[in-house]
Amino acid sequence: MRLYECADIIRSKNAGPFTLTIDLFFGDEERYSIAKGSTLLTVAGVAQAYGVEESRVKGVYFDDRIRAAKVSLLRWSSSTDPFCADMFGAHLHTPLADGELVPARSEGVPE
């Protein structure tokens, strides 16, 4: 399953001009745990989705109470860039949302 199908709400926005934050909300426990246990929602997975260094990913966080995740990364082009294509960062979710949710524990296990 792709993250896009798994999450109910995918909220992409600036957190200050230079940081992008993507909030993900899941409709039930099952889908929340698929996302939480995925390789995509890790620092390495996010860095790969956006083609950036891992050091530019500020964090991947989870809140079990409300079945939510937060992904924050430094923007590669912000409103300070004269050619920034998305001032509010409101439409930068798709590279992450298109990612497949692969269980982290199955990584490296031979088939």
Partner 1 sequence: MNLFQPEPRGAHAPRPTLRSVGPQGEVEKGSMSSPVRILGFVNHIAPVPDIEDEIRQAFEWGVDVVVAQGTGSDWGPYWLGSGEQVSANQAANVEPYVRAALQHGVPFVFSLGIAGADVHLETCLRGFDEMCERNGWSPEVGVVRSEIGKDYLAAAVADGPPVVPCSEGAGHQPLTLADVADVERVVALIGPEPVQELLGRGVDGVLTGRALDIGLFMALPMMRGIPTAVAAHAGKLLECGGLALEPGDSGRSVWASLDETGFEVRSPSRHARASVRSLVSHTFYERAHPTLEENPGGTLDLSQATYQETATGIRCEGARWHEAPYTLLLEGARREGFRAVTLLGVREPELLRQARTWTEAAEREVRSAPRFAAHVAAGRLRISTRIFGLDAVLGELEPNEKVTGHEAGVLVDVVAADEELAREAAYFAFIRLFIGPYPGRKTTAGNAAAPIMPVVIPVSAVYTFSIYHLLPLADPVEPFRLGVERFPRAGAVREEAADAAV
Contact status: 6 vs partner 1 (CB under 8 A): no
**Site pattern 60..79 for partner 1 (x: CB under 8 A):** -x-x-xx-x-x-x-xx-xxx
Residue 42 touching partner 1 (CB under 8 A): no
Stretch that binds partner 1, among 26-34, 39-47, 94-102, 103-111 (CB under 8 A): 94-102
Handedness of CA 43, 98, 38, 91 (dihedral sign): positive
Q: Running DSSP on this structure, what letter comes out for residue 110? A: -
DSSP state of 100: B
Shortest CB 37 distance to partner 1, Å: 19
Residues 6+ apart with CB under 8 A from 109: none
Contacts of 94 (CB under 8 A, 6+ apart): 4
- State the minimum distance, in angstroms, from the CB of residue 47 to partner 1: 13
Min dist CB 39 to partner 1, Å, is 19
The answer to whether 25 contacts partner 1 (rule: CB under 8 A) is yes
Cα dihedral 102, 23, 67, 26 sign: negative
